[in-house]
Structure 1
Amino acid sequence: MGSFTEPDQPIGDRLRQLRGKLYTQQELADKAQVSVDLVRKLEQGTRTTARVENLHKLALALDTTLADLIGPARIPDQAPNEGAVELRHAVTDLDDLIGPPADTDPLDVDDAQRAEVYAWGIYWSGDHDAAAAALPSLIYGLRAGYATANLPDRAPLAYALSRTLWAAGSTLMHLRHNDAASAATRWAVRLAAEGNDPWMHATVKGSLAWQLMVSGRYNESMTLTERAAVGIEPDGSAPAPHLSAYGSLLMQSGNAAARAGNGGAARDYLDAAAEVARRLGEDRNDYSTTFGPSLIAMQSADVHIALGDYDRAVDAAATMPRQGAALPTMAHCRHLADRALAHVRLGQPETALPLMATAVQSSPNWAKHQQLPKVVVRELLHTTKQRSSVLRNLASTLGVS
């Protein structure tokens, strides 16, 4: 079934329109193996989202994609060679067929190292539009540098190009260009394999596993992170960066297990990751990936939300260390939005609203490209009798009716 929904439609309207006259609500629920009560509440607007597992089941039953069911993120109108379109071109690997980009000055090793640091800095700021605008020129220069490098410079240039493609893939995923995101990250994985850093190689695989998870391919996501983790499992004398890389993979496996509805496996992975974080004793950012006690608190809340256990999600969020504010902006905003969703589902809109307002104020660009803030604001609109100016402004900012 093709997509014929409008970009700003609430999920209930999309579901009703996609269902059309093909199925009754009960028939769709039976085909998707979800409760008819969920279908009814989504279409009535009393629920504005559901567990990712159930949304994927509904999308499959309707022969459509999850993006078409929940609605793609709105991307600003851009000229053909700007933003996400140009970034898609930049991450297309044709260098072995037609050579590196023409009329591009190759970056040397020093410039390449600065480029990949800049790429990750702008990514973690949460400003995906700015990242999409800045990354293509960096990638073209790195591709040209790597293609023309002498032997001693080839490894560090491969490393820098790999990390920048990885940042590009993550950015494209947030912009809903999933196919280009996968292509960029697969290229990053291949380049990382050229280096003598198995932890870097494993961490890039972890990013690919995240993309698989977001696409609903939970078992493949878990298999990929499990295999990557086995390859770098630390011994008792492992340095902190290696522990951090390993813990991140365990946490990613827990996230995928939770979204697959496997609560037991999710909690086992969560416990194992928490033990690694205790060994570290501090928050770290190794291989452009945050891990430590603050990340455990953040992801524990996320895992419990995915499992529908909102009380435990709130309890997990309360374990955030005081230095948790040092999380990258995007991660901090995601945590605020998770907390807001948990409180909405617990019937506490007065607690949820300021959390959501802070997240949007901290990174408006991040918020406009994410479904979660829109979900929270829609549910606040449905559950709050007195709509404050704060809530009305949030709805206007995010384009939520």
Structure 2
Amino acid sequence: MTEIRALGDRVAQVRVRRSMTQTELAERAGVSTDLVTKLEQGQRDGIRISTLHSLARALDVPTATFFEVEQEETVSDNEAFIPLRKLLLPGPSSGQTDEPALSLQPLRQRLVALTQDYHYARYPQAVRTAPELIEDITAATGIHQEEDQKSIYRLLAHAYIMAASILIQLSGEDLACEAIRRSMEAAEQAGDPILRASGVVYYRWAFIRQGRFDDAEKVAVDMATEIEPSIMSATPEHLAVWGRLLTGASAAAARNNRPETAKDLLSYARSSAARVADGKMDYAKYWAAFGPSQVDAIEVENAMTQGDAPRALTLARRVRRTENMPLSNWTRHLLAVAEAQTATRDYASAIQTVQDVYTLTPEWLREQRLASRLIRDLLDATSVRRARKTGLADLATFVGIKP
């Protein structure tokens, strides 16, 4: 509720500076006066980003104007994250580990397990195992030499990226940024500038979660400019990381009410994706996927961010999950589709889409704020009998929505 009050206060502040009444703002934004009143009073929960865009356009300001950068509560205040906090802030050493356990293959296997825990939303398990794994990989950097040492540093970079991803999912963006910084340092030790650049993808994500849309776009565009690939000699991996930076920048621009910039950035990313499709990105090397499907999915999200649900649904028809698309990317796309279906009042399809996400990864669904908001909207639009018959009532209980 504190975040809602801060958002409402900011909207009211900008409105007053523009010498508008609540009714005038509502009329210009195409929303109800009641919505504006409740938002400014901190009584409106679950405000849509598309609604904020409409308010921003009516007030002639970037959407980022409404967001406060500082957060009163971070994941570092949560006892469940003490292991990661001690590691990143920093904490005491875990002690010596037997050298056989620090060889390349066992460490890589543990990193694969951590990655699987993340993608299947087993966050409590991931929080427990990530700190010890990172400490062991760090210890291994002092044991191995030459090429093996570079491979170990690559593992360390990926392990920090996984720690950052987990923290972002659980609203620990500040700690995540420290993990990303360390990931980029490890990539530099590995002599891999492309892996180092990929860390900025996660900075962008953390900044978006904090409402820092300008920073998110800038950091991604700056790094994309720094590593801009050669047309003739770029590897698929290089093209893919460059494309991921541009899709991330596009998503940030879309959320900041800059649709033309978002469109331009996405067009560059699409040209990169088309070239990657001919030389498939090595997922095992960079632990990330990129290709036409990822660009298509971001375009759907951007359309929904801009409040164009019919266009989002049209675009969604061409999105296909490829073999190396992470499950979390696919399920995030499905939630965007469900949001568009809800906005166009195709409630039966929206319920089925959310059910599909639940079937694929229930624990991930439970952690998504968008999922909770969608389910609330569907409950409001559906009779009690139909909610029970379709399983919507069970979904609401699962994600913690009380009657």
Deviations 1:349-377 (A, max 9, x none): 12111001111232121112110101110
The counterpart of 2:243, out of the listed 231, 235, 247, is: 247
Indicate the residue corresponding to 1:130 in structure 2: 125
Residues of 1 paired with 2:275 and 2:6: CA distance?
51
Indicate the residue corresponding to 1:92 in structure 2: 89
How many residues are paired up?
369
Indicate the residue corresponding to 1:101 in structure 2: 94
Kept after mapping to 2: 8 A contact 1:125/1:328: no
User: What displacement does 1:216 show?
Assistant: 1.5
Kept after mapping to 1: 8 A contact 2:64/2:214: no
Indicate the residue corresponding to 1:400 in structure 2: 401
Judging changes above 3 Å, is the alpha-carbon distance between structure 1 residues 222 and 48 closer, same or farther for their aligned structure 2 residues? closer
User: What displacement does 1:180 show?
Assistant: 1.2
Residues of 2 paired with 1:325 and 1:332: CA distance?
11
User: What displacement does 1:337 show?
Assistant: 0.7
Q: Which moved more, 1:38-47 or 1:250-259?
A: 38-47
Indicate the residue corresponding to 2:110 in structure 1: 115
Q: Structure 1 stretches of 5 or more lacking a match?
A: 6-13
SS in 2 for 1:289: coil
User: Given the alignment of the two structures, is residue 269 of structure 1 paired with residue 268 of structure 2, yes or no?
Assistant: no
User: What displacement does 1:232 show?
Assistant: 2.4
Indicate the residue corresponding to 1:301 in structure 2: 300
User: What displacement does 1:326 show?
Assistant: 5.8
Q: Which moved more, 1:160-169 or 1:39-48?
A: 39-48
User: Given the alignment of the two structures, is residue 186 of structure 1 paired with residue 191 of structure 2, yes or no?
Assistant: no
Deviations 1:144-183 (A, max 9, x none): 2224555664322222111101111111110111221111
User: What displacement does 1:31 show?
Assistant: 5.4
Deviations 1:181-210 (A, max 9, x none): 111111111111122221111111221122
SS in 2 for 1:281: helix
Overall identity of the aligned pairs, in %: 23
Indicate the residue corresponding to 2:381 in structure 1: 383
Indicate the residue corresponding to 1:10 in structure 2: none
Judging changes above 3 Å, is the alpha-carbon distance between structure 1 residues 205 and 64 closer, same or farther for their aligned structure 2 residues? closer
Q: Which moved more, 1:149-158 or 1:255-264?
A: 149-158
* Structure 1 vs Structure 2 CA RMSD: 3.3
Kept after mapping to 1: 8 A contact 2:141/2:153: yes
Indicate the residue corresponding to 2:152 in structure 1: 157
User: What displacement does 1:140 show?
Assistant: 2.0
Kept after mapping to 1: 8 A contact 2:67/2:212: no
| TM-score of the pair, normalised by structure 1 | 0.81
Deviations 1:214-244 (A, max 9, x none): 2122222222212221232222232222221
Indicate the residue corresponding to 1:374 in structure 2: 372
Indicate the residue corresponding to 1:289 in structure 2: 288
Kept after mapping to 2: 8 A contact 1:298/1:317: yes
Residues of 2 paired with 1:325 and 1:209: CA distance?
25
Kept after mapping to 1: 8 A contact 2:7/2:67: no
Q: Which moved more, 1:211-220 or 1:253-262?
A: 211-220
Indicate the residue corresponding to 2:58 in structure 1: none
User: What displacement does 1:324 show?
Assistant: 4.0
Indicate the residue corresponding to 2:172 in structure 1: 177
Q: Structure 2 stretches of 5 or more lacking a match?
A: 54-62
